[in-house]
A = this chain, B = another copy of it.
Amino acid sequence: MVDDTGALPARTDFSEWYNEVLWRAEIMDVRYPVKGLYVWYPFGFGIRKRTYALLRELLDRDHEETLFPLLIPEQEFMKEAEHIKGFEDEVYWVTHGGLSPLDVKLALRPTSETAIYPMYSLWIRSHADLPLKLYQVVNTFRYETKHTRPLIRLREITSFKEAHTVHATWEEAAAQVEDAVDRYREFYDRLGIPVLVSRRPDWDKFPGADYTIAVDCVMPDGRTLQIGTVHHLGDHFSKTFSITYEDRDGEQRLAHQTCYGISERCIAALISVHGDDRGLVLPPEVAPVQAVVVPIIVGKRGDEVLAAARRLADDLASAGIRVKLDDRDLRPGAKFYHWEMRGVPVRLELGPRDLDGGVATAVLRTGGPKTTVPLASAADGVRDLLVSAMQALAENAADQLAGQVRTAGSMPELAAALDGGVAVVSWCGEHACADRIEEETGGAVLGVEVRSDLVVPCEGACVACGRAGTTALIGRSY
């Protein structure tokens, strides 16, 4: 579908690189005729499918999947005051059915608290019903007025995984928050994406939450991308929606809740953190194609080479490896370009000389010297290479992040650190100081209680006012 010749901009020119790699690697088509809505190409969808299968696998350990309606009646949506204040500028409203106006306006969910919690109120009766841990993967909608960007800032978030849990006590909900954070770390570990976890400042928490823990990654240009949030909702929503349970003593009590979500920004992170000047670099677990076999046909032995390449591809496929044989009538260089762009972890080249030696030549997308794989045990060889590819990818990403996190002791140091990265500072916790930091450096307080091996505690004088402070993460965000 895509004409994929021509060079990709260097990844140092990140914004251009990102836009170009999306269509050259057939992730998203941005030409859909509504701002902020995009089309998944089948190849991109293949990445999405496997990434969300992984996320489901982690949640299915102790959550159950479900599905609630998209449309929320106005009166339910308007019930929780803080919540509606946080979303009212961004909600799409359905006002007509056919040619007639509706009696009740319907909101396209921007998030599903107000769709789900009226049902939770019906479902939960007793302590024996708790904890309740459900999730769904759905499309959600935000009428974004800011600059939209595929996978990052959307009007239709096509792939919002949202979990909603209910607990007997505030403490149990707090423990669930920690559990969810751990689950999200595990998810990003499996994708080789190192993350920074922190508690958002109060003014930046989810509308209607007691507190919000956020998961950020750092993009190649040093700006952060929020790729997961976990909210302790306390009893705000259970008060509004009457979610109560009878405890062991027969008393009615308000339940305590959490919710946490990950959107297709996880795919944006996957593309951006791992990609390079030649295109995508995909973790094998989510790569639609894990290995490509390219026959190198020179001289008279074309048929023999092609037959051997076909056998090799068949062997790998039987072993459960997602493999493509590229037998198109193109120069090998054009094929290499094509599959490198699409992030295929392992390329196997097979020419007459390889065939004589009983091997295929192997090239990892993550780099390093060429190696060989014996044709007689190709599947084992490729499996080992996939493990190496994953290691290399995760190490590269960890090194990259290590180079992007800097400690800053003064405002000028902070401004310098934010040029291409995030900064760790001491901050007193005052909103006024956060505002001053933002005005002078363009960086926002992302959070406190930062969890990362890369972050050295920084307990000195507040970088803005000089009073006593604690460690805070400062960044410019997408």
- Is the beta-carbon distance between A69 and B119 smaller than 8 angstroms? no
A67 partner, pick from B33, B39, B69, B122, beta carbons under 8 A = B39
User: A3: nearest residue on chain B (CB-CB)?
Assistant: B125
Contacts of A104 in B (CB 8 A): 34
Which chain A residues have a beta carbon within 8 Å of chain B's beta carbons? 1, 29, 31-34, 37-42, 45-46, 48-49, 64-71, 73, 76, 88-99, 104, 106, 108, 115, 118-119, 122-123, 129, 134, 139, 143, 145, 155-156, 158
A1-B123, A66-B41, A119-B29 given as contacts; is B71 within 8 A of A156 (CB)? yes
- Is the beta-carbon distance between A73 and B34 smaller than 8 angstroms? yes
- Is the beta-carbon distance between A96 and B95 smaller than 8 angstroms? yes
- Is the beta-carbon distance between A45 and B66 smaller than 8 angstroms? yes
How long is the Cα–Cα vector from A94 to B39 in the complex, in angstroms?
20
- Is the beta-carbon distance between B70 and A139 smaller than 8 angstroms? yes
- Is the beta-carbon distance between B65 and A49 smaller than 8 angstroms? yes
- Is the beta-carbon distance between B94 and A98 smaller than 8 angstroms? no
- Is the beta-carbon distance between A71 and B34 smaller than 8 angstroms? yes
State the oligomeric state as a number of copies: 2
- Is the beta-carbon distance between B67 and A45 smaller than 8 angstroms? yes
Contacts of A134 in B (CB 8 A): 42
- Is the beta-carbon distance between B93 and A94 smaller than 8 angstroms? yes
Q: List 30 A-B contacts (CB under 8 A).
A: A1-B123, A29-B122, A29-B123, A31-B122, A32-B118, A32-B119, A33-B118, A34-B69, A34-B71, A37-B69, A39-B67, A39-B119, A40-B66, A42-B64, A42-B65, A42-B134, A45-B64, A45-B66, A45-B67, A70-B139, A70-B156, A88-B98, A92-B94, A92-B96, A92-B106, A93-B94, A93-B97, A94-B108, A95-B95, A98-B143
Contacts of A94 in B (CB 8 A): 92-95, 108
How long is the Cα–Cα vector from A333 to B156 in the complex, in angstroms?
49
User: A31: nearest residue on chain B (CB-CB)?
Assistant: B122
A119 to chain B, nearest CB (A): 6
- Is the beta-carbon distance between B95 and A66 smaller than 8 angstroms? no
A409 to chain B, nearest CB (A): 42
A182 to chain B, nearest CB (A): 23
* 7 extra interface residue pairs, beta carbon distance < 8 Å, beyond A29-B119, A94-B95: A32-B115, A34-B69, A39-B67, A45-B66, A45-B67, A48-B67, A92-B94
- Is the beta-carbon distance between A73 and B143 smaller than 8 angstroms? no
- Is the beta-carbon distance between B119 and A67 smaller than 8 angstroms? no
- Is the beta-carbon distance between B92 and A93 smaller than 8 angstroms? no
Contacts of A92 in B (CB 8 A): 94, 96-97, 106
- Is the beta-carbon distance between A73 and B33 smaller than 8 angstroms? yes
A265 to chain B, nearest CB (A): 16
A98 partner, pick from B90, B95, B118, beta carbons under 8 A = B90
Contacts of A32 in B (CB 8 A): 68-69, 115, 118-119
Contacts of A37 in B (CB 8 A): 69, 71
A34-B73, A119-B31 given as contacts; is B39 within 8 A of A68 (CB)? yes
How long is the Cα–Cα vector from A67 to B76 in the complex, in angstroms?
29
How long is the Cα–Cα vector from A62 to B145 in the complex, in angstroms?
40
User: A87: nearest residue on chain B (CB-CB)?
Assistant: B98
How long is the Cα–Cα vector from A122 to B98 in the complex, in angstroms?
30
- Is the beta-carbon distance between B99 and A96 smaller than 8 angstroms? no
- Is the beta-carbon distance between B129 and A1 smaller than 8 angstroms? yes
Contacts of A69 in B (CB 8 A): 32, 34, 37-39, 156, 158
How long is the Cα–Cα vector from A34 to B134 in the complex, in angstroms?
21
The 3 A-B pairs with the shortest beta carbon distances in the complex, nearest first, are A97-B143, A42-B64, A37-B69
User: A56: nearest residue on chain B (CB-CB)?
Assistant: B49
How long is the Cα–Cα vector from A89 to B71 in the complex, in angstroms?
19
How long is the Cα–Cα vector from A32 to B68 in the complex, in angstroms?
9
How long is the Cα–Cα vector from A39 to B115 in the complex, in angstroms?
10
Contacts of A71 in B (CB 8 A): 34, 37, 155-156
Contacts of A119 in B (CB 8 A): 29, 31-32, 39
Contacts of A45 in B (CB 8 A): 64-67
A94-B94, A94-B108 given as contacts; is B66 within 8 A of A42 (CB)? yes
User: A43: nearest residue on chain B (CB-CB)?
Assistant: B64
How long is the Cα–Cα vector from A40 to B156 in the complex, in angstroms?
22
